[in-house]
Amino acid sequence: MNGIVSSFCIFAFKTYYMELFFDPLFTGEGMLCESESKHCINVLRHKLGDEITIANGKGDYFTGRIISAHPKRCEIENISTQTHSESAYKLHLAVAPTKSIDRFEWLIEKAMELGISEITPLLCDHSERKKIRTDRIERIVIAAMKQSLKAYLPIINELTPFDQFIKTQQTENGFIAHCYDSKKTPLKNAYKKGTDSLLCIGPEGDFSESEVEKASQLGLIPVSLGSSRLRTETAGVIACHTIHLINE
């Protein structure tokens, strides 16, 4: 009996576990990019004849067979292609990077796992961190995309001044979370299921009162995320999770 249970557990694990490679230029067969070839052959020890799955970040999963196990030029023969439809809603997360870059990177990773379509780092009046490496953020997003088996890679924007950012956005169904004592609607009540939205989260020192006022004048809805005072990265995850749960 124990042997049967163990065999079932191994089968279930293999069925559930899936490695996902990412190559934005892959079209179903041909060469994997060099970085993913190295990861596939040298790190994960795949060999000739193994089947792998590659995502292009645009909704396509390609299942292919390795026909040349070269660590710089892994060649794939196409077996099947599966196209995933986009999510019923899009979430644009605009958030001020934290002073500790580790906390910000953690937020980006978790937000990606929950499902976002666009990320804009914000430079605000109270921002302590005024520079970020977009290339590093891109790598974190790609890793989180692969880990969470997402078919779409979100748009990743450069660090943008808050005033400049909100003037260029469609603010209908846009929200700004802040800690000031003024009228705010709980996000879970303000957000409507299935709608595209913009969600703004400020730095450790919060948005300035001027920024909140400008955002409100342009149509962003002031929202609360509960009664607790939250860190930037915690607020970001809770807000993304709230919208994710409403859409489940």
Give the tens place of pLDDT for each residue, 50-80.
999 999 999 999 999 999 999 999 999 999 9
Q: How large is the average pLDDT for residues 99-127?
A: 95
What is the Cβ-side half-sphere exposure of residue 224, based on CA atoms within 13 angstroms?
12
Residue 4 located in a structural domain: no
Asked if residues 86 and 59 have their Cβ atoms less than 8 Å apart, the reply is yes
Q: Beta strand 51-55 with 60-68: parallel, antiparallel or unpaired?
A: antiparallel
Sign of CA dihedral 158, 159, 161, 167: positive
Clarify whether residues 105 and 217 are in a common domain: yes
Q: Which residues pair with 186 in a beta bridge?
A: 224
The counts of H helices and E strands in the chain are 8, 13
Residue 115 located in a structural domain: yes
Q: Which residues pair with 62 in a beta bridge?
A: 54, 81
| One-letter amino acid of 143 | A
What pLDDT, on the 0 to 100 scale, is given for residue 7? 44
Clarify whether residues 161 and 104 are in a common domain: yes
Q: For the ranges 9-13, 19-23, 47-51, 186-190, which has the lowest average pLDDT?
A: 9-13
Quote the domain boundaries for residue 61. Answer: 17-83
Any idea what the CATH number is for the domain that residue 242 is in?
3.40.1280.10
Asked if residues 51 and 79 have their Cβ atoms less than 8 Å apart, the reply is yes
What pLDDT, on the 0 to 100 scale, is given for residue 17? 54
What pLDDT, on the 0 to 100 scale, is given for residue 159? 97
What pLDDT, on the 0 to 100 scale, is given for residue 226? 87
Any idea what the CATH number is for the domain that residue 37 is in?
2.40.240.20
Residue 6 located in a structural domain: no
Residue 9 located in a structural domain: no
User: 170-227: per-residue pLDDT in tens?
Assistant: 777 899 999 998 899 999 999 999 999 999 999 999 999 999 999 999 999 999 998 8
Clarify whether residues 71 and 111 are in a common domain: no
pTM to 2 decimal places:
0.85
Domain termination site, one of 31, 49, 83: 83
* The CA-based dihedral angle spanning residues 82, 83, 88, 93, taken in that order and rounded to the nearest 10 degrees: 100
Local structure of residue 247 (DSSP, 8 states): T
Residue 181 located in a structural domain: yes
Locate 232 and state its tokens: 């930037």
Clarify whether residues 133 and 76 are in a common domain: no
For the chain, how many structural domains are there in total? 2
What pLDDT, on the 0 to 100 scale, is given for residue 15? 39
Distances (CA, A) of 245 to 108, 178, 187, 196: 18, 21, 12, 14
Domain termination site, one of 54, 83, 112: 83
Residue 57 located in a structural domain: yes
pLDDT band at 8 (very low <50, low <70, confident <90, very high): very low
